[in-house]
Amino acid sequence: MTETPSTEIKSGGFNANLPSGFNQPNDAVGQRILKEYGALFVARGGATPPNTVIFKNESEVSAYQSGLSKSTETLGGFNIELQAAAIKGLKEAIAEAKQNNLTITPRGADSGKRTYSGTVELWASRVNPGLSHWVGKGKLTESEASRIRALSPFEQVPEIFKLESNGMFFSKDLSKSIVYSVAPPGTSQHLSMLALDVNEHDNAKVRDVLAKHGWFQTVVSDLPHFTFLGVSENQLSGLGLKKVSDGGRSFWLPSL
Ligand SMILES: [Zn+2]
């Protein structure tokens, strides 16, 4: 079943522009994910965002992805499959970039679409070394680390957030929250097929061209990561998004 993407921008801010039937999270983890990654849920321009903040397993992800209108493009040697509207905006951006002797290429094979198991693997790739690191630093006991390792990836999320609130961070360089490095299992914007990790993210001209074609930065300090929102920059505040400036860049987050 393909849902009809909404095109209209309603007054009433972020909550008014969420997909119909959106499951508002009522737990702390869900609410944090909505705040950090939530811009995606008000995507327009033919995009179909999910109506849940956390997919619980592979079958929920496949059910959602199989209902989308998708298209695949070979970019920089990788087959990138995204929602059709997102690919269209991306191809237009690439064409405009080319006229200015710039390129827009994906960072790797998993820079576009991801599966639930892909998000579980990425999560473990930060959590497991992080637990060993903090045990080595004497901040965490081995028995506590073992207890957390034994939990399901989903159950680990609140535990990791709790350790981070005590100064034990789990990003790749262990300096910031894991949410700016990898998404908790089932929450990645890449599951929605509306996100792309871009090699040339450091170039402000490339960021401008992507923005002109509906692609914006929406996860603070995840620098290569862009999200298809399908509108022009002057429409973003109407969708209930606010601009957060960080490190000379603009990120668009839910105004909650
Ligand atoms: Zn990404």
Over the stretch 1-29, which tens digit does the pLDDT of each residue have?
A: 445 576 789 999 999 999 999 999 999 99
What was the pLDDT predicted at 1? 41
AA identity, residue 135: V
AA identity, residue 25: P
pLDDT in tens, 43-60: 999 999 999 999 999 999
CA 143–ligand 1 middle distance (angstroms): 33
Query: Residues with beta carbon < 5 A to ion ligand 1?
Result: 197, 225
CA 210–ligand 1 middle distance (angstroms): 15
Pairs from 89-98 (Cβ < 8 Å, separation ≥ 24)? 89/45, 89/213, 89/214, 89/215, 89/228, 89/230, 90/196, 90/213, 90/215, 90/228, 92/213, 93/209, 93/210, 93/212, 93/213, 93/215, 96/209, 96/212, 96/213, 97/206, 97/209
